[in-house]
């Protein structure tokens, strides 16, 4: 684990790149656009558009010109210090989201209540536990005939949680920060519809991911490892040393009323008030179900996805030993708030060896933290995460040079995410002409960039989030631990494109209830087709509209009245090929 990784050592023209980097930093403090010097191909306007497409969810009306005029490096520098950016308008908006008013304890007790109602309902209907408990978006199950208030509230809050992400992405001035929150949400994926994660996910977003999104990777990693949402999602909360026995008090109430794996609302496990006979057999079942050994799920994904990467050099024995190190990392019952809790009794105190590093016998929770810190700055981790960042910000097939720059910054700063990002944004690769508009927007990026282009102001109803879900990316509902994919091939296909066209037409026509668009101030209705097309090109496509697109739109609007023509032109522009790129 102490070996250096040869892949991460820069191989070529470091000096040149360092010179570029210096140039970038120097120019960051000048108000003129530096990008003409960084890359001969991109104009100041294109540079601003590029930065707004990658570090932000696309430009709002007029923003390309503003950023170009003020200097793109200065804008990037500001985005890297979100604390210094005033975001009062968003804060005002966030106050309308009731989900932010509840703390973890309150959400936990609501969950317990909803579960009780659901069980009661099932008992009345004599229904077997089934695949009915997904939330929101395309996973939404048909509503039961009668929805009890606690469940209904659960659904509403889940919808709010999804929509809150859309509102923040659309309205926040701290755009890079919101982009990074989305990046980490996918890197450290959890699944909102899995049992207790229904109530654990809000605090996962607010207290685990958001505070560390531009902080130090090691801190973020430790925070996720200790987060109840992750401990539940990847099953570590009940991974115990073989032969360990919970305290007597635990034994009787052993199986907390957590839900189970994705989409299986289990029957009540233990409810002594109901029926003594039944309670007895349930107690027995509860004892049978008590954890009896380790669970490898978290350990494997920690190494494969969160840190080293699948080719990071670990073995099956390493996975087992990592799982042993994390035995006892658990959570309180939801009735007690569901916080992180280290169970001394469940921990394996034996010696472990992970990738050649010995963890001596006799250590408890501290050895898990030690392991996480080792993993956080392991060369394979630096390379794996840097590569993903370059994939997100530069190209689906990230150039080596950019990854090398990010790794160098990681080494220099011990994983200060802000500095790693700064290295990416000052890398020549980031500004190279072939990477301009080289990426395809994900559904989230497509919907938010369309909303921003139209100056949309979404309310707290989950309308925009539902559009994102229909396009294939229901937020917090990616079931597998790898998060939503970043590559274009995952998102571009026949059905998805038709769906994007439909969404674009609906948005442009103002047919999405709950989303107020201010088209009048962006593209005034005009009887002159040339004027209309020029406005749509400038305001919505950032000047990238092709001659063919202009010709097609002109043909389409020739016999429409000005209002219809405008809606059609905007719908075609947003649903068309140029707008899918960023």
Cβ 183 vs Cβ 389: under 8 Å: yes
Write down the least CB distance from residue 235 to other proteins, Å: 5
Q: With respect to other proteins, which residue has the nearer C-beta, 160 or 238?
A: 238
Q: How far is the CB of 351 from other proteins (least distance, A)?
A: 20
CB 365 within 8 A of CB 342: yes
Of 493 and 521, CB closest to other proteins = 493
d(CA 372, CA 138): 36
Q: How far apart are CA 408 and CA 1, in angstroms?
A: 18
The CA-based angle 333-336-337, given to 5 degrees, is 90
Q: Which residues, in sequence order, are CB contacts of 124 under 8 Å at separation 6+? A: none
How far is the C-alpha of 44 from the C-alpha of 35, rounded, in Å?
Answer: 6
CA-CA-CA-CA torsion sign (199, 201, 202, 204): positive
Closer Cβ to other proteins, 87 or 133, answer by number:
133
Query: Which C-beta is closer to other proteins: that of 63 or that of 473?
Result: 473
Cβ proximity to other proteins, 66 vs 260, nearer residue:
260
Candidate residues 211, 242, 272, 356; the one interacting with other proteins per rule CB under 8 A: 242
**Shortest approach of other proteins to residue 553 CB, angstroms?**
8
Kindly state whether residue 41 participates in binding other proteins, applying the rule CB under 8 A: no
| Cross-strand bridge partners of residue 354 | 357
| Contact present, 433 and 42 (Cβ < 8 Å) | yes
The encoded tokens of residue 234 equal 């990847």
Q: Concatenate the DSSP letters of all residues of 208-234 into one string.
A: IIGGGTTSBHHHHHHHHHT-HHHHHHT
Q: In the complex, what is the shortest distance from the CB of residue 289 to other proteins, in angstroms, rounded to a whole number?
A: 6
- Closest approach of Cβ 475 to other proteins, in Å? 14
Largest CA distance in the chain: 81
Looking at residues 88 to 107 of the shown chain, list those that interact with other proteins (rule: CB under 8 A). none
Q: For the chain, how many helices (H) and strands (E)?
A: 29, 6
* Stretch 255-294 residues interacting with other proteins (CB under 8 A): 260-264, 266, 288-289, 291-294
| Residues 505 and 443 sit within 8 Å (Cβ to Cβ) | no
Between 206 and 296, CB nearer to other proteins: 296
**How many residues of this chain bind other proteins (CB under 8 A)?**
72
Can you tell me the distance from the alpha carbon of 139 to that of 126, in angstroms, rounded to the nearest whole number?
Answer: 24
Contact call for residue 249 and other proteins (CB under 8 A): no
Burial label, 11 (beta-carbon count in 10 A; 0-12, 13-18, 19+):
exposed
Contacts (CB under 8 A) with other proteins, residues 300-329 = 300, 304, 310, 316, 319
Among 495, 513, 527, 558, the residue binding other proteins under the rule CB under 8 A is 495
* Residues 121-160 within binding reach of other proteins (CB under 8 A): 128-131, 138-139, 141-142
The residue among 82 and 262 lying less far from other proteins, judged by its C-beta, is 262
Q: Which stretches of 214-373 are assigned E, i.e. beta strand?
A: 329-331, 340-342, 352-354, 357-359
**Residues between 409 and 468 that touch other proteins (CB under 8 A):** 440
**Closer residue to other proteins (CB): 264 or 349:** 264
Among 142, 458, 131, smallest CA distance to 466 is for 458
Residue 340, beta-bridge partner list:
331
- For other proteins, the binding residue among 64, 240, 403, 540 (CB under 8 A) is 240
479 binds other proteins (CB under 8 A): yes
> For other proteins, which is the closer residue by CB, 338 or 575?
575
Residue 184 CB, nearest approach to other proteins (Å): 19
CB of 461 to other proteins, least distance (A): 21
- Residue 117's alpha-carbon distances to 126, 216, 453, in angstroms, are 14, 42, 43
Among 250, 497, 525, 534, binds other proteins (CB under 8 A): 497
In the region spanning residues 533 to 562, those forming contacts with other proteins, defined by CB under 8 A, are: 546, 548-549, 551-553, 555-556
Phi, psi of 288, deg, nearest 5: -60, -35
Main-chain dihedrals φ then ψ at residue 361, nearest 5 degrees: -60, 155
Q: Which region among 38-46, 81-89, 361-369, 471-479 touches other proteins (by CB under 8 A)?
A: 471-479
- Window 343-372: residues binding other proteins (CB under 8 A): none
Nearer to other proteins among residue 7 and residue 266 (C-beta): 266
Name which of 37 and 555 has its Cβ closer to other proteins: 555
Cβ atoms of residues 441 and 580 within 8 Å: yes
Q: Write down the residue that tokens 């892949």 correspond to.
A: 7
Residues in region 166-225 near other proteins by CB under 8 A = none
In the complex, what is the shortest distance from the CB of residue 348 to other proteins, in angstroms, rounded to a whole number?
A: 11
Query: What CA–CA distance (Å, rounded) separates 129 from 396?
Result: 42
User: How near is the Cβ of 440 to other proteins at its closest, in Å?
Assistant: 7
Nearer to other proteins, 139 or 155 (CB): 139
- Residue 194 to residue 262: CA distance in whole angstroms: 4
CA dist list (Å): 259 to 83, 294, 341: 38, 20, 18
Among 120, 280, 344, 482, binds other proteins (CB under 8 A): 482
Shortest separation between residue 132's beta carbon and other proteins, angstroms: 8
Binder among 15, 273, 489, 527 for other proteins (CB under 8 A): 489
- Minimum distance from CB of 262 to other proteins (Å)? 6
Spell out the SS3 assignment of 159-183.
HHHHHHHHHHHHHCCCHHHHHHHHH
Q: Which of 433, 437, 402, 428 is nearest to 24 (CA)?
A: 428
Please report, for residues 44, 82, 218, 220, the alpha-carbon distance to residue 177 in angstroms, rounded to integers and kept in the order given: 23, 7, 18, 14
Q: Could you say which of 89, 252, 287, 498 contacts other proteins (CB under 8 A)?
A: 498
**Cβ at position 332, least distance to other proteins in Å:** 18
Among 208, 224, 295, 442, binds other proteins (CB under 8 A): 295
Segment contacting other proteins (CB under 8 A): 88-96, 143-151, 378-386, 569-577? 569-577
Nearer to other proteins, 257 or 408 (CB): 257
């Amino acid at each position: 684990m102490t070996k250096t990784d040869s892949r991460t050592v820069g191989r070529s023209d470091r000096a040149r790149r360092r010179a570029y980097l210096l140039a970038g930093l120097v120019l960051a403090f000048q108000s003129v656009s530096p990008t003409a010097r960084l890359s001969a191909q991109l104009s100041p306007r294109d540079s601003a558009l590029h930065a707004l497409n990658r570090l932000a969810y696309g430009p709002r009306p007029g923003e390309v010109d503003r950023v170009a005029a003020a200097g793109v490096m200065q804008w990037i520098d500001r985005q890297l210090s979100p604390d210094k950016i005033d975001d009062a308008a968003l804060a005002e908006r966030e106050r309308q989201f009731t989900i932010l008013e509840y703390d973890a304890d309150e959400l936990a007790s609501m969950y317990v209540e909803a579960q009780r109602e659901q069980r009661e309902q099932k008992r009345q209907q004599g229904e077997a536990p089934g695949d009915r408990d997904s939330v929101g978006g395309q996973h939404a199950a048909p509503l039961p005939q009668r929805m009890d208030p606690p469940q209904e509230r659960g659904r509403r809050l889940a919808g709010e949680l999804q929509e809150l992400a859309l509102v923040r992405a659309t309205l926040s001035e701290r755009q890079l920060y919101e982009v990074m929150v989305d990046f980490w949400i996918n890197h450290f994926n959890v699944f909102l519809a899995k049992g207790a994660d229904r109530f654990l996910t809000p605090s996962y977003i607010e207290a685990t991911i958001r505070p560390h999104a531009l902080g130090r990777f090691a801190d973020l990693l430790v925070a996720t490892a200790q987060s109840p949402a992750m401990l539940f999602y990847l099953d570590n909360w009940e991974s115990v040393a073989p032969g360990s026995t919970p305290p007597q008090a635990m034994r009787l109430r052993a199986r907390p009323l957590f839900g189970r794996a994705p989409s299986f609302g289990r029957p009540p496990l233990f409810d002594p008030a109901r029926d003594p006979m039944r309670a007895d057999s349930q107690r027995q079942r509860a004892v049978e179900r008590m954890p009896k050994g380790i669970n490898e799920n978290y350990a494997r994904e920690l190494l494969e996805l969160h840190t080293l990467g699948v080719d990071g050099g670990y073995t099956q024995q390493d996975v087992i030993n990592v799982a042993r190190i994390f035995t006892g990392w658990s959570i309180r019952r939801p009735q007690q708030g569901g916080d992180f809790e280290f169970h001394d009794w469940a921990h394996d105190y034996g010696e472990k060896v992970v990738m050649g590093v010995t963890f001596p016998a006799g250590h408890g929770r501290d050895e898990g933290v030690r392991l996480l810190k080792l993993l956080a700055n392991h060369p394979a981790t630096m390379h794996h995460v840097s590569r993903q960042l370059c994939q997100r910000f530069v190209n689906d097939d990230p150039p080596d040079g950019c990854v090398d720059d990010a790794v160098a910054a990681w080494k220099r700063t011990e994983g200060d995410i802000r500095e790693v990002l700064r290295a990416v944004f000052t890398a020549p690769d980031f500004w190279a002409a072939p990477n301009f508009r080289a990426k395809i927007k994900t559904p989230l990026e497509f919907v938010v960039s369309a909303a921003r282009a139209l100056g949309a102001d979404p309310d707290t109803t989950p309308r925009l989030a539902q559009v994102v879900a229909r396009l294939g990316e229901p937020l917090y509902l990616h079931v597998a631990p790898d998060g939503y994919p970043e590559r274009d091939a995952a998102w571009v296909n026949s059905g998805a494109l038709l769906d994007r066209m439909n969404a674009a037409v609906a948005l442009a026509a103002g047919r999405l209830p709950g989303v107020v668009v201010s088209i009048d101030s962006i593209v005034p209705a005009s009887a002159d087709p040339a004027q209309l097309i020029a406005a749509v090109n400038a305001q919505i496509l950032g000047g990238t509209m092709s001659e063919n697109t202009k010709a097609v739109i002109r043909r389409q609007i020739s016999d429409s009245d000005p209002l219809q023509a405008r809606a059609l032109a905007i719908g075609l522009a947003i649903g068309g090929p140029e707008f899918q790129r960023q």
